Amino acid sequence: MSNIDRRTLVKGSLATMMAGAAFSRTAFAQSSEPILLGVSGPLTGPNAQYGTQWKQGFDLALDEIHAAGGINGRKLAYNFEDSQSDPRQSVAIAQKFVSDSRIVMELGDFSSPASMAASPIYQRGGLVQFGFTNSHPDFTKGGDFMWSTSVSQADEQPLLAQYAVKRLGLKKLAVLHLNTDWGRTSRDYFVKAAKEYGAEVAITEGYIAEERDFRSTLVRVRDASPDGLILISYYSDGALIARQARQVGLKQTICAASSVYSPKFLELGGEAVEDVHLGTRYFPEDPRPEVKKFIAGFKAKYSGQEPDAFNAYAYDAMNMAAAVVRIGGTDRRAIRDAFTKVRDVSSVIFGAATFDVETRRVKGAMNAELVVRKGQFALWDGKPT
C-alpha cells in the first residue's frame, strides 16, 4: 500500500464501483497518475513471507526505474491486493483488477491454485496475468494472456540431475519432495533426467508442507541405502530435512533444488547444511553486472539484508513488466502483444531475457553450481565432498 496514497485508492475504487469501467476509462486516460500494475499475492496467511519478499523486490526495481526517468516520463506503481494465495480471494481480486481500467497488467498470484483459478477471468477480461512464481506446467496453457518468468521445472530439474549424477557421480538416489503440484512435477522431471544420465532412483518420498518431523521418513531412506539425497524443497523444510538427516546418522551427499537458495537456509540449517550441493538461478558472487547491481541496491535499501531467490524473481518481474509497458503503452491488448516483442531484458535470473512465444515462458535460466562451505554458499570447485 506504500506506493499509492489512500485517497487515490478510495477515489479510484469508488469511481469504478459507482460508474463502471466505461466512465473511469475516460476519467483516467490522460491523467498524470502513475501507470498502475495489479499484484495479487499473499500478505497474510501461511505464505505471507513470500508476499513480503515480493514487495522488497518490486520496490527496489521501481526505485531504479524511476531514477532512470520512469516509463516515458510516467511513474510505475502497483496495487498489492492480499489474496492469502487463496483461490476464492484471487478470483475476486481478478474481477477487481479486470474492471479497474487503471490496471494495465497483473502480477501473481503466488501458488498454482490461486493463480490458475483466476486465469480464466484475466483471459476473458483481456488483462495479462504475469505469473513469476508459477512453475505449474499448465499455468501458461490458460490462454494467451498468461505469461511467466518462472523457470519451468522442465528446464530446471535436468540441470540438477546433471549436477548430481554427472558431476558429483551419485549413482543411487533418494528423492524427498514437497507433495504439491510444484514438488510433484519437479520430481517427475528430475527422476526422468536422472535415469537418462544413468542413475538409479531407489526411493521417492513426498511430504506435506506443514510437516516438521522427518526422522521416520529418513529411516526409510536409510533402508534404501542410496548414495545421495535429493531435496526438492523450499528452504525451511530443506533445512529441517538436512538437520534431521544428520541427526539420524545419514552422511550421504545432499543435493537440493534451487528453491532452497536463501540465506535463511544457512541460518535454519546450521552445520547440518554444510556440504549441501545446489544449483541456483542466481548467485550474489556472480560477476554479471545485473546481479551486482541487484545485490548492491538491495543491501543499500534494506539495511544490509541479503536478498534471496524470491526477492530476485520479484525484482526481475517488475523490470520485465516495465520493459513490456514501455513497448505496449497502457493498452491492455498492446501490452499482451508487447510480450512477443520484448527482447533481451536485463535480468538476474535469465541474463538477457526473451520470451518464447510458443510456451509464453523465458528460456535459458542461469545455472550456478553451488556448495555450502563454512556456512556460506560458494561456487563448487569441482572437488567431491
Within residues 312-371, the interface with other proteins by CB under 8 A covers: none
**Taking CB under 8 A as the rule, does residue 299 contact other proteins?**
no
Instruction: For residue 347, give the nearest of 263, 284, 278, 288 by alpha carbon.
Output: 288
Instruction: For residue 44, give the nearest of 89, 79, 91, 98 by alpha carbon.
Output: 89
Which of these segments, 182-190, 192-200, 293-301, 331-339, binds other proteins (CB under 8 A)? 182-190
Touching other proteins, residues 43-72 (CB under 8 A):
43-46, 48-49, 52
Residue 60 C-beta: closest distance to other proteins, Å: 17
Based on C-alpha coordinates, what's the Rg of the chain? 21
Which of these segments, 201-209, 252-260, 285-293, 339-347, binds other proteins (CB under 8 A)? 201-209
Nearer to other proteins, 121 or 335 (CB): 121
Give the three-state DSSP class for 39: strand
- Mask of contacts with other proteins, 261-290, x by CB under 8 A? ---x--xxxx--------------------
Nearer to other proteins, 124 or 343 (CB): 124
- Residue 373: count of CB within 10 angstroms of its CB: 15
Which of these segments, 27-35, 157-165, 214-222, 328-336, binds other proteins (CB under 8 A)? 214-222
Residue 100 C-beta: closest distance to other proteins, Å: 8
Nearer to other proteins, 12 or 338 (CB): 12
Residue 227 has, within 13 A of its CA and on its CB side, a CA count of 11
Nearer to other proteins, 99 or 252 (CB): 99
Residue 256 C-beta: closest distance to other proteins, Å: 16
Residue 343 C-beta: closest distance to other proteins, Å: 31
Q: How far apart are CA 212 and CA 210, in angstroms?
A: 6
Residue 45 C-beta: closest distance to other proteins, Å: 8
Nearer to other proteins, 20 or 384 (CB): 20
Q: How far apart are CA 259 and CA 153, in angstroms?
A: 11
Q: How far apart are CA 352 and CA 36, in angstroms?
A: 25
Residue 17 C-beta: closest distance to other proteins, Å: 5
Touching other proteins, residues 231-260 (CB under 8 A):
236, 239-240, 243, 247-249
Touching other proteins, residues 147-176 (CB under 8 A):
176
Touching other proteins, residues 89-128 (CB under 8 A):
89, 91-96, 98-100, 112-113, 116-117, 119-121, 124-125
| Identified binder of other proteins from the candidate list 138, 196, 200, 285, rule CB under 8 A | 138
- Residue 267: count of CB within 10 angstroms of its CB: 12
| Identified binder of other proteins from the candidate list 166, 220, 293, 343, rule CB under 8 A | 220
- Residue 225: count of CB within 10 angstroms of its CB: 11
- Runs of H (alpha helix) within the chain: 6-29, 48-67, 87-99, 112-125, 153-161, 181-196, 215-223, 235-247, 263-269, 289-301, 309-328, 332-341
Touching other proteins, residues 7-26 (CB under 8 A):
9-10, 16-23
Grid coordinates representing 213?
518431523
DSSP 216-258: HHHHHHHHT--SEEEEE--HHHHHHHHHHHHHTT--SEEEE-G
Q: How far apart are CA 69 and CA 89, in angstroms?
A: 35
Q: CA angle 377-183-122, nearest 5°? A: 105
| Identified binder of other proteins from the candidate list 54, 207, 294, 380, rule CB under 8 A | 207
**Residues in contact with other proteins, total (CB under 8 A)?**
82
